[in-house]
Structure 1
Amino acid sequence: MKRRALWTGILVVPLALYGCGSAAGPDSSQGGAEGTLVVWDWKSGDATAKSYIEQAKADFAEKHPEVEVEFVAQPFDQYYNLLGTAIQTGEGPDVMLFNGGGQLRDRADALLPLEDYLAEDMERLAGWEAFSADGHAYAAPVTLQGHPIYYNKALYEQAGLDPEAPAATWSDFLADCAAITEATGAKCFALGNKEGYGIQFFLSGLGSGVLTPQEYDDWIAGNRDWTSPGVKRIFELWVEAEEAGLNNEGVNSTAMFNDEFAIFDAGEAAHVIGLMSDVGHWKDFGEFLGAENIGVMPAPVVSPEAAPSLPYDGGIGYGVAEWTDDPELAANLVRSLSSTAALEAFYADAGAIAADTTIDASDAGPSTAEIVAQIPTGRPALHVALSAETLELMGRLSQQLLSGTVTVDEALSQLAESDQAG
């Protein structure tokens, strides 16, 4: 039986793509050396990204053979702290990898706007919004990252349910979950919230089935009403699902990566809110359960006014440090890192849904075809619109909600205050 490989040396965090790396030595951490560009990321040490990095380096070397490129793979659990130190000193890498959303926007002042350098790539690449702030693009998207609801078709069949017709409403979804548990013993959801990340996937994966389209648009635009019935209902569902026994045991002591996804892979849960790319995604699940057994379903409708959609944004992207000696050269490296050839390699080896809209990923299996088909009507993920500080607070409060030490109203009050302060 195939066993899931353990991740070592790095705490993997949702929001984008992941990988293993080691901290850089002091002699290899700074950019700006003559004839050298230094890149910080957490991907270049990942075996599944090897062909992607090699292709990007080859593309750049063909155009700039006199320039050496040095990739420094940092451990993700320390990455943004290390980056913060570099930003404070104004010394560090020339090119940096970012998750889309708050992690980049909180550091936009340390980056160069890229639209003038990468104008010819703007149409080819999707996901720019997640890497933009104040009307400027600060990183070029490499992948698209989203949060589909995956389900195990084999468990549906064992429970006498139609695997091609998952429930469209929350009440029917609960009925299907009950039937699956009775017939197979599998839980409804695989969920890990040890680091407080599970709530992010829950919010984005299920939110479009609860909020009205206007509420959704307002949230993304920053006009968030944390006391609205729709927002409150999402957090009530978070608590109710746990109290009803829909989740695996010990959610707050279960790591999302890779324990949550291992539960789904083992057939011990019928559904999981996963990722589109790289880990906890269609390719990963298909290797354990068979591609034919992986389904993708829209968020079950809780509110009749809701319009379920695929939540996705730009996943990861490379930006240029404002202190780099040669901005145009560094931007050219970013262009190579987001080139079609490099991203085709990333898709083929890692299963990344590339930001390059010219790459056809629809032939990778039924679940991938379903995801790709939903991209044109997809909408930004709800959690990506929040600041890093608010996400951290939400993680802590989500654990307290499951343990019963805080109420939904108390949690939403604190989140509203944090969001307004940000």
Structure 2
Amino acid sequence: MKQRAVWSAVLVAALALTGCGSATGTRSSPGGSDGKLVVWDWKSGEPSAARYVQQAKADFAKKHPNVTVEFVAQPFDQYYTLLGTAIQSGKGPDVVLFNGGGRIRDRSDALLPLDEYVAEDRQRLAGWDAFTKDGKTYAGPVTLQGYPIYYNRTLYEKAGLDPASPATTWPEFVADCAAIGRQTGAKCFALGNKEGVGIQFFLSAFGSGILTPQEYDAWIAGKRDWTSPNVKRIFALWKETQDAKLNNDGANSTAMFNDAFAIFQSAKAAHVIGLMSDVGHWKDFNEFLTAEKLGVMRAPVVVPGATPVLPYDGGIGYAVTKWTKDPKVAGDLVRSLTSTAALKAFYAEAGAIAADTTIDVSSGGPAVAAIVADLKTGKPALHVALSSKSLDLMGRLSQQLLSGSTTVDEVVKQMAASDQAG
């Protein structure tokens, strides 16, 4: 960890000295013959994103042939720390990649609203709300990110269950898990909560099976009642799954990325709450489970009156920093990064569920077809509505709940105080 911290500091300094974005006073204005835009992200260095970047650059070059675009791929585990240093200095990249939700909303003061630049893309792209604060849009969505519950159809078959009809209520679900355990030895859930991320996935994946539709919508709107019995039920269920040994052993010491997903892929667990895009998603799993053997289900109903939906938002999106020399040119780059041609390449190579709703995903297999079909009735993910500080606190408290060192009442009390503080 010390070596990473030192390297991060050196990297920030080096990027500033080499003219990253507007870090040097001599940088030419974008749009000039020697203009340059610098992009920070954590995706462009991945082989699966190569054609996406190529397509985006080609689209941008048609509009601004004299502007160079430089991508600087940062390590994700240090990304927001590095970005925070750039924001504090008021210098750095022109265009930056963000996760939707609290990550971008907490840093919106360092970004330019893009509404006037992306107006023509409103109908074609989905997921805008995750990049919006106070009615202003701060990023163009690249992917849609959701939290489906995947299951191994082969394990269902071995347990004598119908893989085409997964459980729709919690008691049925627990009974199915018991049958799978008896017949195959597999756990019910693959869970990784070493980073405190597992609770985020759990909250969003199972929340619609617990909260009433009215409570769900109020939560997203910022009117969260942490004393509600149903809100408490979410955290009680989190603890119950652990106490009932439904999770893999050592969930608090298992990393979500990518150890928990490896447990699922190796058929040591029948279910995992995964992603729609990026990693731990349908295309990743197809490397170990054929598309026909990968199932996806909605949350089972835990509390009568709940209406399970697919939780999803804008996944990742590109924003423009307020210090860029030419906002319109930077805005054009965001449009190129969210162009249909670029997003088609991202879907084809990386398996991302692109924000572009015109892209045909029918070749992806049954799981992706089911996910896309559920987008019509889906709702924003519960955890994405929380601030970064609240998410960090929830992660720590979730670990304590699994270990038995705190109570549900204490968790909701602390979460309420954090949520009210903003």
Check the 8 A contact 1:23/1:72 in 2, yes or no: no
CA distance, structure 1, for counterparts of residue 294 and residue 395 of structure 2: 28
Instruction: Name 2:111's counterpart in structure 1.
Output: 111
How far does the alpha carbon of each residue in 1:121-171 deviate from its partner, in whole angstroms, 9 at most, with x for none?
111110000000000100000000000000000000000000000000000
Note the 1:76-95 alignment, pairs <5 A. Answer: 76-95=76-95
Deviates more, 1:261-270 or 1:62-71: 62-71
Aligned to 1:30: 20
Shift of 1:103: 0.4
- C-alpha displacement of 1:208: 0.4
- Partner Cα distance (2:21, 2:268) in 1: 47
TM-score (normalised: structure 1): 0.94
Match for residue 273 of structure 1? 273
- The residue type equivalent to 1:368 in the other structure is V
Q: Quote the Cα distance in structure 1 between the aligned partners of 2:363 and 2:75.
A: 33
**CA-CA distance at 1:85 after TM superposition:** 1.5
Aligned pairs (5 A) from 1:22-421? 23=11, 25-26=14-15, 27-28=17-18, 30-32=20-22, 33-34=27-28, 35-421=35-421
RMSD: 1.4
Q: Secondary structure at the match of 1:226?
A: coil
Alpha-carbon distance in 1 for matches of 2:275, 2:354: 13
SS at match of 1:272: strand
Find the aligned partners of 1:363 and 1:310 in 2 and give their Cα distance: 21
The alpha carbon displacement at 1:29 in A equals 6.0
Aligned to 1:65, the other structure's residue is in SS state coil
Q: Residues of 2 paired with 1:370 and 1:323: CA distance? A: 42
Q: Structure 2: how far apart are the matches of 1:103 and 1:321?
A: 14
Alignment identity in percent? 71
SS in 2 for 1:211: coil
Is this contact kept in 2: 1:210–1:234, CA < 8 A? Answer: yes
State the one-letter code of the partner of 1:382: L
| Deviations, residues 90-130 of structure 1 (Å, cap 9, x unaligned) | 11111010000000000111111111011101111100000
Letter in 2 for 1:31: G
Unpaired runs of at least 5, structure 1: 1-8, 11-21
**Structure 1 Cα separation of the partners of residues 50 and 19 of structure 2:** 20
Deviation string for 1:294-315 (max 9, x for gaps)? Answer: 0110100011110000000000
- 2:286 partner SS: helix
One-letter code of the match for 1:200? Answer: Q
Q: Secondary structure in 1 aligned to 2:150?
A: strand
Instruction: Work out whether residues 173 and 300 of structure 1, in 8 Å CA contact, stay in contact via their aligned partners in 2.
Output: yes
Q: Which moved more, 1:39-48 or 1:341-350?
A: 39-48
Counterparts of 1:283 and 1:84 in 2: how far apart (Å)? 32
Q: Which amino acid aligns with 1:353?
A: I
State the alpha-carbon separation in 2 of the partners of residues 195 and 28 from structure 1. Answer: 34
Q: Deviations over 1:208-262 (max 9, x none)?
A: 0000000000000000011111110010010000000000000000000110000
Any idea what SS the aligned residue of 1:379 has? coil
Q: Which amino acid aligns with 1:333?
A: L
Residue 362 of structure 1 deviates from its aligned partner by: 2.6
Give the partner amino acid of 1:336: S
Task: Give the partner amino acid of 2:20.
Answer: Q
Q: C-alpha distance in 2, partners of 1:374/1:338?
A: 22
CA contact (8 A) 1:145 1:315 kept: yes
How far apart in 2 are the matches of 1:161 and 1:291?
Answer: 19
Q: Report deviation, 1:76.
A: 1.3
Letter in 1 for 2:139: A
CA distance in 1, matches of 2:277, 2:179: 30
CA distance in 1, matches of 2:148, 2:236: 21
CA distance in 1, matches of 2:360, 2:229: 40
**Deviation per residue, 1:356-389 (Å, 9 max, x gap):** 0110113210000000000011000000000000
**Aligned with 1:214: secondary structure?**
helix
The whole-number CA distance in structure 2 between the counterparts of 1:173 and 1:155 is: 14
Alpha-carbon distance between aligned partners in 2 of 1:414 and 1:28, rounded to the nearest angstrom = 44
Contact 1:29 1:93 in 2 (8 A): no
Question: In the comparison of the two structures, how many residue pairs are matched?
Answer: 404
Uncovered stretches (5+) of structure 2, i.e. residues with no partner? 5-9, 29-34
